[in-house]
Amino acid sequence: MMYLDSGNRPAITPQLAFRVAVIGGFALVMFAVIFFRLWYLQILSGDKYLADANNNRVREIKVQAPRGEILDREGNVLVDNRVGHAVKVDPDDLPGAERERGVLLTRLAKTLGERPRVVIRDVEQQIRIQPFLPATVKQDVADDAVAYLLERQADFPGIEIEQVFLRSYPHEEVGAHLFGTVGEVTEDQLKDKTRYRGVTLGDRVGQSGIEYSYDRFLRGENGKRRIQVDAFGIRNEEDPLHKTDAVQGRNLRLGIDLDVQRVGQEALGSSRGAFVVMHAKTGEVVALGSSPSFDPNIFAKIIRARDLRQLSSEANGKPLFNRATQAGYPTGSTFKLITSVAALEGGLITPDTPLFDGGSLQVGGVTFKNAGGVSHGSLALRQALTVSSDVFFYRLGLAANNKGDGLLIQDWARRLGIGRLTGIDLPAEGAGLVPTPEWRNELFKQKLTDRPWSVGDNINLAIGQGDLSVTPLQLAVAYATVANGGNAVKPHLGKRIEDAAGRVLQEFETPAPRKVDIDPAYREAIMDGLVGAANAPGGTSTAVFSGFNIPIAGKTGTAEKGLGRPDQSWYAAITYPEDPQYVVVATDEAGGFGAERAAPIVRQIIAALYDAKDDGPETTGRVVD
């Protein structure tokens, strides 16, 4: 058992007591020093060091990546970048009081030449959506305004100047619908984590056209840098704490020929219309345009609602609307190619079956007449295509309506690409419409039309009239399918992805065509008729292509709109028809007869396609179809 010591321990020596006193005194002094130092730092110098802390904030700034260039087939630059300056507002550094913020943003708006009310509204909306990120006030700021703000940073707390890469479209309205536009990513787009992986609010992404379709290649990888800023937001740019370089997007080479594209747009002029130039065997698009066009450079800045209204206004011709891929029209007599295939494959006629054209056909008390009231007498398919006999094809429409389910023409139209998406690598393509009894009868049941389907609808369909709605691109696919022997090609623009040095990173494979069985003898008869229409005496476009050195087959079309509106002009051509190379389609919404307006446009485009010197036709003639 252990017992407590009752006092037998030796007494502390004087030396030990002295040492303990010294150590205790030293510890007391040290604690006193620390206490008074803390008191000094927190009480006497607190405000000073708080300001010092504010003067050494670390901020991470996103370094925007430039997008890749878009090139034509020869390497000509179609779309590139330019350096600009954006003015942004950091919500953390704005004055806390609402009135002070309003005064600041009003002064900023006046400096930038913007309306204060609009700037305040836009900034508040952006901060409400994403409160921790800077709000963009203006994307492309003039140099004098930038210099003014940089010289007076203390007067504009929370206002930042950021260098940005803005899209540049050097050819302005040429090819605008192809290339498309770029804009800030939307909230809805950010929800798509697959397509917009790595994208944050404020990033600019493709919003239409090629810019949208190939955004994942063209969009680069943003960098970042960490810098110090003082309480006024003034940056120490000379000594960044950390920097990650941005990576530029990859270049995209298209099958587009810039010269052909430019000629097509110039030939259309200010008319409302479109054109398509496509390889008949592969579907590679060489040129595709819509008029009126627009200058996509305006989208490099923040585009206002009023600008969008003007660009979408019917009164202005809806410049943003791509008529080549989105607009659906009746095609007039260019549709006779489809009716010919349907009638031959459906057993209604053979290539040599004669039908009588007396100038008109009467069905159920309604008289269907040839354009111009002409009479062609007895003729077979080849000649009917050459002279564009309406009565010949009226008879085929009547016969098709009475055969089987009455959908012979409709079925073949869809097989040839009419009324269905072509699959081109552009967004928002229109599907068009091939009218059927079921479709019209349903409209009648819903009281959306004044009558149900009748035989007259099929008769009109046979010559490309009535409720038919076809895009110029769909018509080009149909003509290519017949010309190449039954391969329904998939139109495509992209050829390959390259790096900045032009090295190929990825080749895009030519999309496999959809096979359509067309009897070679039937194809030959149709092609003979189209060759005659562009070259033989009495052909509907012979006068237009007189003296033209490039062999073509072609078909005019004149679509009647009624209600006093001018007719729509169409032309579809196939170059070197014995071994088809290209299909060229053009339309003018108010061009009148196909031979008068659309056919001369196609001649200009083909001349540019083959780099041929051509002064144009001596006369377009007055042949109607």
pLDDT 10s digits, 532-564: 999 999 999 999 999 999 999 999 999 998 788
Return the bridge partners of 204, or none. 184
Nearest residue to 177 via CA among 611, 420, 419, 472: 472
In terms of DSSP bridges, do strands 514-515 and 366-369 run parallel, antiparallel, or are they unpaired?
Answer: unpaired
Candidate from 51-55, 254-258, 422-426 with smallest mean pLDDT: 51-55
Candidate from 46-55, 162-171, 377-386, 595-604 with smallest mean pLDDT: 46-55
Q: How far apart are CA 140 and CA 302, in angstroms?
A: 8
pLDDT tens string 79-119: 999 988 888 888 877 887 788 888 888 888 888 888 888 88
- Please determine, for residue 2, whether its predicted confidence score (pLDDT) is greater than 50: no
pLDDT tens string 133-191: 788 888 788 888 888 888 888 888 888 888 888 899 999 999 999 999 998 888 889 88
Please work out, in degrees rounded to the nearest 5, the angle formed at the alpha carbon of residue 456 by the alpha carbons of 554 and 451: 130
Count CA atoms closer than 13 A to 622's CA, side-chain side.
2
Q: Is 151 helix (H, G, I), strand (E, B) or coil?
A: helix
465: exposed, middle or buried (C-beta count within 10 Å: 0-12, 13-18, 19+)? Answer: buried
Q: How far apart are CA 391 and CA 368, in angstroms?
A: 7
- Please determine, for residue 592, whether its predicted confidence score (pLDDT) is greater than 50: yes
Mean pLDDT of the chain: 89
294: which 2 tokens?
A: 């627009």
In terms of DSSP bridges, do strands 366-369 and 70-71 run parallel, antiparallel, or are they unpaired?
Answer: unpaired
592, 565 in Cβ contact below 8 A?
no
pLDDT tens string 457-502: 999 999 999 999 999 999 999 999 999 999 999 999 999 999 988 9
Beta strands in 417-493 (DSSP E): 487-488
Q: How far apart are CA 409 and CA 342, in angstroms?
A: 5
Q: At 559, phi and psi to the nearest 5?
A: -95, 120
94: which 2 tokens?
A: 């704005």
Q: What is the CA radius of gyration of the chain?
A: 36
pLDDT tens string 358-380: 999 999 899 999 988 899 999 99
Q: How far apart are CA 269 and CA 576, in angstroms?
A: 27
Q: When comparing pLDDT for 208 and 11, which is higher?
A: 208
499: which 2 tokens?
A: 């790096």
Q: How far apart are CA 502 and CA 266, in angstroms?
A: 30
Q: How far apart are CA 262 and CA 325, in angstroms?
A: 18
All structural domains of the chain, each given as residue ranges with its CATH number in brackets, are 59-223+242-254 (3.90.1310.10), 258-609 (3.40.710.10)
Please state, as a whole number, how many other Cβ atoms lie within 10 Å of the Cβ of residue 300: 23
Nearest residue to 385 via CA among 538, 611, 274: 538
- Please determine, for residue 1, whether its predicted confidence score (pLDDT) is greater than 50: no
Q: How far is CA 427 from CA 210, 223, 421, 555, 557, in A?
A: 8, 29, 11, 29, 28
Q: For position 151, what pLDDT does the model report?
A: 85
Beta strands in 383-493 (DSSP E): 487-488
Q: How far apart are CA 576 and CA 610, in angstroms?
A: 11
pLDDT tens string 208-255: 999 999 999 999 888 776 666 555 555 555 555 667 778 899 999 999
Say what the pTM is: 0.85
Please state, as a whole number, how many other Cβ atoms lie within 10 Å of the Cβ of residue 448: 9
181: which 2 tokens?
A: 């536009």
- Tell me the helix, strand and coil percentages in the chain, rounded to 5: 35, 20, 45
Q: How far apart are CA 559 and CA 466, in angstroms?
A: 9
476, 573 in Cβ contact below 8 A?
no
Give, as one character, the DSSP assignment of residue 449.
S
Q: C-alpha 183: how far from its chain's center?
A: 12
Nearest residue to 596 via CA among 565, 562, 624, 575: 624
Place of tokens 């006024």: 232
Q: How far is CA 460 from CA 333, 403, 453, in A?
A: 10, 16, 12
66: which 2 tokens?
A: 């430039």
Return the bridge partners of 138, or none. 87
Q: For position 563, what pLDDT does the model report?
A: 81
